[in-house]
Amino acid sequence: MNFNYTIAMLLIALGFYCLLVKRNLIKLIIGLSVMTDGIHLFLISMGYRTGGIAPIVTSELSSNLSNFASRAVDPLPQALVLTSIVINICILALALSLSIYAYRHYGTLDPYKLRRLRE
Amino acid sequence: MIPHAPILAIVLPLFAAFLMPLVGLLSKRYNAAKACDWFAIAAMIGTILLVADMAPTVWGGHILTYKLGGWSPPWGINLAIDGLSIQMALMIAGLGTLVIIYSAGYMQRDTRKDLFYALTLLAITGMMGIVLTGDIFNFYVFLEIMSVSSYALIAFRRDSNAIEAGIKYLFIGSLGTSLILMSVAMLYSFVGSLNIADLGAKLATYREGAQPVPAILIASLALFVTGVMIKVAMVPFHAWLADAFTAAPTTISALLAGPGAVVGIYWVARLPYLPFGLPVGIILISLGLLSMVVGVLMALTQHDFKRMLAYHVISQKGYMVLGIGLGTLGSVLGAQGGLFHLLNHSTYKCMLFMCAGAVLFRTGSQKFDELGGLGKNMPVTALTFLIGALAISGIPPLNGFVSKYIIYLGGVEAGLPIVTAIAVLVSALTFASFFKAFSSVFLGQRSERLRETQEAPKLMLFPMLMMAVICVAIGLLPALGFNIVGPAQSAAENSARYISQVIGGI
Amino acid sequence: MAGMTVIVRTISRLLFPFIFLFGVYVVFHGHLTPGGGFPGGVIIAASVVTLILAYGIERAQERVSFLSSEVLDVIGSAAIAIIGLLGILLGTFFLQNVFPLGGLGQLFSGGNFLPLYLGVGVKVAGGILLIFYAMLFALWSEKE
């Protein structure tokens, strides 16, 4: 089980490193997306139960519901992650559209060159 | 009381935002130019009537709860409105209405106004949702709704400055909300519930110090505080605010500076009590002091009208965070001062941004070097700017003086007179900065190019005058403000009553 | 934006109904199997986007224009809000269950899950199409 958490933390660290170091707007967006994917993996792994089954009630499981409830993994983090993925799609779309306009105005995708407001 | 008023206060702006593109299409077909404006204003007036309807019940000491979908907490999402939430909701609804009336005048020359109103109403929905909800993941969803709408609104005019400001705000803001999501994840794994009242009940043993606090709770608290401080733009996370407020259309600066500050300070006021209850007072006091000083020092050197006002926003938010931090050290006056300052600041900061917008609308420039001598051309704008400038510097008999004086007294009451000294110094520097601004824009030599500028249109003057009246009224009769702020401060502190009424009473 | 070669056009025209049907299946069975409104809406939008990429934007504008995707968007979101308000109109809370709960595993069961997922599916499909068109127009007008 620690494998999941290790990979999640690795993804968050990689995404954060990308946000800090890279000099291209598209790479920054990829870094943000990788970081949020790491957080989602962390959240889903939180609900795992060792030797568990999927939380879907089929007809053969519906006879013994208490046994099902003690064996199923937690479905609440999965719903939270679904909501968060949709929110991140919207942020991704907005960031990409802004990058299109930034390229048109400045001619470059280097975030260090977007400095017209400072002068 | 209107039944279902809590959820209708959130659904009404949301529904209006969803229908806005349809209204835009119909107005183009039937050639009714102002249909979008009147639709948005009607939706906001409905919201403020709903919120005003809920207020007397909450001020009577009864916490309003509303179960969404009929599911009781802690299994379902519920809305919980106590004194603190109702102060924030009144400010968001009232100032939001005035900002939309102002935008009807300011955005006259823009196309695609239906998209602008849809995004603004979505941002207001997000703000109302944050202050009215009782579930911590629901708070995260409404925070993202408000943030994404404001990223799009700042880049609305798509010129090079706006795109740059929008990109910077997007990356820093997304980082902040990711940290809050991580904190909610850790909290859920430790406690097993997402309801704020339920979290407060289950973490109560750590609040009294009965058991040592586990590391995951400290990590969760640290991430949450960092995320909220990024959203409130405290130093050292303030880098996005100056660019965003300079490049945005001025009504969006007014919207984000007025009601937008409310949601951040709402959570800062809840932080020491619910759901964690761990001591964060030192962090709040130190960040508040740092922001006050850095904000006003950077504002003194600016040449751009809106950029100077943006740095003053950082400085004044430092006052509020400082006041709430003093409240955790046992000073009731400090917490009341912080919340009262939020009430006053939103009013006069909105008004100041609206004056800057009026000047920009008529003259086309926002730099001090190009403006001057506009006092004769725009008398009403000059008068409201003067009232705002005196209010922000804390000069009696306006409302800024009342709240700043309470914070000064709070500093002494908490046993830290050095805080009072620094706060008085920052007020003096604020007055100097606004004296410079007023004299360079409205007094002095008027250039040839500006000879024909007229007064701002009436739709823009009406909200400015309303806010000026509110400033003077609260300054002369502080009891008006205390009726709102007193219950807010006692509700924020009294977390046991919140928990028992939300979980026990359902 | 011009279209692609004959091979791509033929294959995408043959594949479009199957992908579309799969997306509709995922939306309709959201309360029984994993999926629901969001992934189903994205699959529906992806099938239409495949056609747009294969045939070029001028021909696609005649069939699925910018205006119709805006209208789809508004219809989807208004449907969700109206279903929520149905709860209030019939006397109970917002988003309360007012549709019949069927048996286990049947298609028309689960209360107001199915209508909500339909609304979400329509809105997400319209929304993703709208995002695609907006980005294309931003790049398109730059080339002129």
CATH label of the domain that carries residue A58? 1.10.287.3510
Paired tokens of A101: 């306009």
Report H helices in B364-457: 379-393, 399-413, 417-442
ipTM of predicted complex: 0.94
Q: How confident is the model at residue A116 (pLDDT cuts 50, 70, 90)?
A: confident
Mutation target to probe the C interface, by most C beta carbons within 10 A, among B23, B68, B125 is B68
Residue A105: closest CA among chain B residues belongs to which residue?
Answer: B160
Do the Cβ atoms of B170 and A95 come within 8 Å?
yes
- Alpha-carbon distance of B89 to B259, in angstroms, equals 9
Are A97 and C104 a contacting pair at CB < 8 A? no
How many domains, chain A? 1
B191, B199 contact by CB (below 8 A): yes
Chain B's closest residue to C67, CA to CA, is: B25
B505, pLDDT greater than 60 = no
DSSP assignment of A27-70? HHHHHHHHHHHHHHHHHHHHT--TT-B-S---TTTTT-HHHHHH
Contact B246 A77 (CB under 8 A): no
User: Which one is predicted more confidently, A87 or C31?
Assistant: A87
Q: Which domain holds residue B300?
A: 5-504
Say yes or no for a CB contact (<8 Å) between B21 and C70.
yes
Q: Which two tokens stand for residue B363?
A: 């003259």
Mean pLDDT of B463-482: 84
Interface test with C, best of A65, A88, A100, A106 (most C CBs within 10 A): A100
Nearest in space to B274 (alpha carbons), one of B325, B221, B232, B229: B221
φ/ψ bin of B281: left (φ > 0), alpha (ψ from -120 to 50), beta (otherwise): alpha
Question: Is the Cβ pair C139, A101 closer than 8 Å?
Answer: no
Percent of residues, chain B, with pLDDT higher than 70? 98
Residue B69 to residue C81, Cβ atoms within 8 A: no
pLDDT of residue B408: 85
Distances (CA, A) of B108 to B2, B111, B235, B380: 36, 8, 36, 20
Question: How many Å apart are CA B148 and CA B139, to the nearest integer?
Answer: 14
Locate tokens 């919201």: which residue?
B47
Question: What are the φ/ψ torsions at residue B66 (nearest 5 degrees)?
Answer: -140, 125
Residue C42: pLDDT above 60? Answer: yes
Nearest to B241 by CA among B252, B251, B249, B233: B233
Number of domains forming the structure of chain B: 1
pLDDT in tens, B150-176: 999 998 888 888 888 899 999 999 999
Segment B89-108, tens digit of pLDDT: 999 999 999 999 998 888 88
Q: Is the pLDDT of residue C21 over 90?
A: yes
The partner residue sitting opposite B4, judged by closest CB among C70, C81, C88, is C88
Q: What's the token pair of residue B201? A: 């009940």
Domain that holds residue A79: 2-118
Instruction: Choose the mutation target among A12, A117, A119 for the interface with B, i.e. most B CBs under 10 Å.
Output: A117
Q: Does residue B415 surpass a pLDDT of 80?
A: no
Domain boundaries, chain C: 6-143
What pLDDT is attached to residue B303? 84
pLDDT at C144: 47
Residue A42 at interface with chain B, using a CB cutoff of 8 Å: yes
Contact A25 B167 (CB under 8 A): yes
Residues 108-137 of C with CB under 8 A from A: 131, 134-135
- Render C41-78 in DSSP notation, one character per residue: HHHHHHHHHHHHHHH-HHHHHHHS-HHHHHHHHHHHHH
Tens digits of per-residue pLDDT, C106-117? 777 777 788 888
Partner-chain residue, chosen from B21, B22, B69, that has the shortest CB–CB distance to C96: B69
pLDDT in tens, B23-76: 888 888 887 778 888 889 999 999 999 888 888 888 887 888 888 877 777 778
Task: Pick the range with the lowest mean pLDDT from B202-206, B318-322, C114-118.
Answer: B202-206
Predicted local distance difference test score (pLDDT) of residue B179: 93
Q: Which candidate, B445, B250, B279, B207, places its Cα nearest to that of B355?
A: B250
What pLDDT digit, counting tens, does each position of A35-60 carry? 999 999 999 988 888 878 888 777 77
Model-level pTM? 0.93
Residues of B365-382 as b/e, b for ≥16 C-beta within 10 angstroms? ebebeebbbbbebbebbb
Inter-axis angle of helices B417-442 and B379-393, nearest 10: 170
